[in-house]
């Protein structure tokens, strides 16, 4: 059985939303185990959710069900989809949020979730996490086959990393995420700098950070550094301090890799 | 057995309080499962806790034990009570916090929790969540009968929604809660506007919002709307934005339903 | 078996770090149960983590494994250690964070964790919580003996409470922690004031608070008070308000016990 259901939402912890979703899951399958990936995704930020899911999903046991509820389009015509890959299940609104995770995870089947037999009876138009995603994930965790939930479809929306801009003398990347330690994560992956990592120079806000380090503490406290982080992304950090504040940057700003 | 214990507190996540409560529960009953409803209730805000409990309790499996620790009177003469309804158990300080949930949940028995045999040995006067509520909930989850914990009592404190003021040309309601998305929740329930929902006009801070929508995305982005939310309350929202900031309102302010 | 693993980190909830650690644990031992002590330790604040661990560890069932990931030195030469006491296991970076908890918990064995057979295969230099501490804790929870993980060592780093300064007419203590209710916790323990508790006068920021109360509500609302809190420390509080703001103090400032 696939008892483990992970939850990734923008619900925060102030309200009762996350607790309710867990209650619904346990009403359907008392043996289910839920694990929070995060509930502090910036409200409606599909890209951030996609990024956090990509980093986390493969650390869970095979057969785990990953449920995502970042759903600015709740109540509109957008579908809810169930995706099976070789090792995992995913359930989410069809808004692209699975795009980054599924780039490396060959999709075996996509189902449009429509069978209201598996929904809560009083279906709202504002809380499909509770009324659809939670019970469907829970029935899936009890072993219900994918075909039960709706008909197979061919396509789903998928967001992608913003592309790198490659120029003769530089590669232009972007800040895609800033973690809670203030570390700056870019859309540059380890492979992208294969040839130039020995002489890497990263320009961020008129400052140039040279070299590629292995760990934060490779440099003095309060000094900046580049590293390929534990998820494979180029990260610009400051040892024991917040790089975000050190450089004064925001998500979406550019960084340059100078050749 | 009633293995599931939900927790609703104002303890936040900065400290170790919530973890300690779970540890105590598991010392008494290693098979217990705890689920957080919320721990970010505004400190000492009994009404907010009551509201969150009302919205959440019935989504949990029958037999669940709902433990509430929002307890500004800890260490005073206020009782701790254990309440059995047909489907659930509740344990909380007798400060009214169960009032909203129990309005729709016929009470079968109320017990004043006094039997210190079920408390932690070194009883403090400042952390009854750890010393009384956690172990009592855990013993209850192992199947201990209610009579073990103290004697039956007839009455408990119960807070209620602030009443609506009905005038010839309008109904005056109040903002009772603002969720983490900034949605504004009022004390007006779906039934209260049965006759007027087709022509509903809600006045909030000199703005009038007309109509009753089904979902946030029924209107343009950044436009306001009224809806009956997934818990049955009239909610004033702004699609993909924070209604609280859009209108500049706080809990306790009035809204008017114009006839 | 020791199925219960507690987690204490400075990872916060914004990112996916905590979820990933739980995923890794469940990949190794699907029967493991994780409980969060806190994930909102101030980034890199080893003392705060030590304080929260001391207050919490002994409320968990015997055999529990306490995993701490507050690790400003990740990727440097600092060791990761596994400690067995009579009743518990601890795993943490060797940076002193176990010092307060282990003062009262006789140590039976300390092991330097070096056997990479129990680590994740792609070992990073920036996320040892995921790559080392999580899988080692999980293998331990399956019953693996301590010797499997590395060789026994004799010493570990241990931080301690800042010492009291005892002068003829006063004892000078320090604010060591401020909880999420704004309560001010000092390095003075109940035993330290044994002789003077009847006439206790605590000077904090030019204000003198007299007496020793049992509970917050022993004084009027918004009035200050002293008490020995539920963890045995002298705490300066304000009934139903935030003592931190009332006095305008920060961690590290002095308080005086006048004789």
pLDDT of residue B1: 54
pTM here is 0.96
The C-alpha of C123 sits at a distance from chain B's nearest C-alpha, in angstroms, of 29
Pairing of strands A80-85, A107-112: antiparallel
d(CA B144, CA B141) in angstroms, rounded, equals 7
Q: Does A127 touch chain B (CB under 8 A)?
A: yes
| Contact between A215 and C75 using a beta-carbon 8 Å cutoff | yes
Query: Between these two residues, C125 and B149, which has the higher pLDDT value?
Result: B149
d(CA B247, CA B224) in angstroms, rounded, equals 9
The tens place of each residue's pLDDT in chain C, 259 residues long, gives 579 999 999 999 999 999 999 999 999 999 999 999 999 999 999 999 999 999 999 999 999 999 999 998 887 788 999 999 999 999 999 999 999 999 989 999 999 999 999 999 989 989 999 999 999 999 999 999 999 999 999 999 999 999 999 999 999 999 999 999 999 999 999 999 988 878 899 999 999 999 999 999 899 999 999 999 999 999 999 999 999 999 999 999 999 999 8
Nearest to B126 among C36, C59, C215 (CB): C215
d(CA B27, CA C56) in angstroms, rounded, equals 13
CB A41 within 8 A of CB A49: yes
Neighbours of chain C (3+ CB pairs under 8 A): A, B
pLDDT of residue C1: 54
pLDDT of residue C163: 96
Nearest to B60 among A18, A23, A44 (CB): A23
B/e letters for A130-148, b = 16+ CB within 10 Å, e = fewer, are bbbbbbbbbbbbeebebee
The C-alpha of C158 sits at a distance from chain A's nearest C-alpha, in angstroms, of 21
- Residue in B161, B234, B177, B249 with CA at minimum distance from that of residue B201: B234
| Contact between A230 and C131 using a beta-carbon 8 Å cutoff | yes
Bridge partners (DSSP) of residue B166 are B171
pLDDT of residue B158: 96
Confidence band, pLDDT 50/70/90 cuts, at residue A189: very high
d(CA B114, CA B79) in angstroms, rounded, equals 8
Backbone φ and ψ for C57, nearest 5 degrees, come out as -55, -35
d(CA A201, CA A217) in angstroms, rounded, equals 19
Residue of A nearest to C123 (CA): A230
- How far lies C87's CA from each of A126, A167, C65, C66, C235, in Å? 48, 61, 10, 11, 29
- Residue in A159, B242, A19, A160 with CA at minimum distance from that of residue A9: A19
Q: Does B222 touch chain C (CB under 8 A)?
A: no
- Residue in A118, A158, A130 with CA at minimum distance from that of residue A9: A130
CB C44 within 8 A of CB C103: no
Query: Between these two residues, A259 and B133, which has the higher pLDDT value?
Result: B133
Residue of C nearest to A52 (CA): C16
pLDDT of residue C104: 87
Q: Does B226 touch chain A (CB under 8 A)?
A: no
Residues 230-259 of B with CB under 8 A from A: 230, 240
- Residue in C92, C68, C75, C88 with CA at minimum distance from that of residue C10: C68
B/e letters for A84-115, b = 16+ CB within 10 Å, e = fewer, are bbeebbbbbbbbbbbbbbbeebeeeebbbbeb
d(CA B36, CA B44) in angstroms, rounded, equals 18
d(CA B129, CA B97) in angstroms, rounded, equals 15
Q: Does B67 touch chain A (CB under 8 A)?
A: no
pLDDT of residue B252: 97
The C-alpha of B167 sits at a distance from chain A's nearest C-alpha, in angstroms, of 31
The C-alpha of A24 sits at a distance from chain C's nearest C-alpha, in angstroms, of 20
Nearest to C15 among A33, A52, A240 (CB): A52
pLDDT of residue C74: 82
pLDDT of residue B197: 78
Query: Between these two residues, C103 and B74, which has the higher pLDDT value?
Result: C103
pLDDT of residue B234: 97
Nearest to A16 among B38, B215, B227 (CB): B38
* CB-side neighbour CA atoms (13 Å) of A149: 30
The C-alpha of A62 sits at a distance from chain C's nearest C-alpha, in angstroms, of 8
| Contact between A217 and C19 using a beta-carbon 8 Å cutoff | no
Query: Per the structure block, which two tokens stand in for C57?
Result: 């560890």
Report ipTM for this prediction: 0.96
State what percent of residues in chain A have pLDDT above 90. Answer: 92
Average pLDDT across chain A, whole number = 95
Q: Does A71 touch chain B (CB under 8 A)?
A: no
CB A94 within 8 A of CB A79: yes
Does residue B259 have a pLDDT over 90? no
Q: For B24-28, what is the mean pLDDT? A: 97
Residues 6+ apart with CB under 8 A from C162: C174, C176, C187
**Torsion angle in degrees (nearest 10) through CA of B4, B6, B12, B13:** 20
Residue C14 exposed, middle or buried by CB count within 10 Å (0-12, 13-18, 19+) = middle
d(CA C194, CA C206) in angstroms, rounded, equals 24
Does residue A1 have a pLDDT over 70? no
């Amino acid at each position: 059985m696939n008892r483990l259901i992970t939850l990734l939402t923008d619900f925060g912890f102030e309200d009762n939303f996350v607790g309710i979703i867990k209650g619904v899951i346990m009403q359907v399958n008392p043996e289910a185990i839920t694990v929070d990936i995060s509930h502090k995704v910036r409200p409606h930020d599909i890209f951030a959710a996609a990024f956090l899911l990509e980093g986390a999903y493969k650390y869970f046991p095979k057969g785990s069900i990953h449920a995502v509820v970042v759903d600015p389009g709740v109540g509109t015509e957008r579908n809810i989809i169930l995706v099976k890959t070789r090792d995992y299940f995913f359930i989410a609104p069809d808004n692209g949020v699975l795009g980054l995770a599924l780039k490396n995870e060959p999709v075996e089947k996509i189902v449009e979730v429509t069978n209201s037999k598996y929904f809560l009876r009083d279906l709202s138009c504002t809380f499909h996490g509770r009324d659809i995603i939670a019970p469907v994930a829970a029935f899936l965790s009890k072993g219900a086959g994918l075909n039960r939930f709706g008909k197979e479809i061919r396509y789903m929306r998928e967001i992608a990393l913003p592309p790198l801009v490659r120029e003769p003398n530089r590669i232009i990347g972007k800040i895609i995420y800033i973690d809670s330690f203030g570390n700056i994560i870019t859309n540059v992956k380890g492979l992208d700098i294969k040839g130039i990592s020995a002489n890497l120079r990263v320009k961020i806000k008129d400052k140039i950070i040279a070299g590629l380090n292995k760990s934060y503490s490779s440099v003095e406290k309060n000094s900046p550094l580049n590293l390929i982080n534990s998820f494979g992304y180029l990260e610009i950090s400051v040892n024991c301090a917040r790089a975000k504040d050190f450089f004064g940057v925001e998500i979406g700003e550019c960084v340059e890799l100078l050749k």
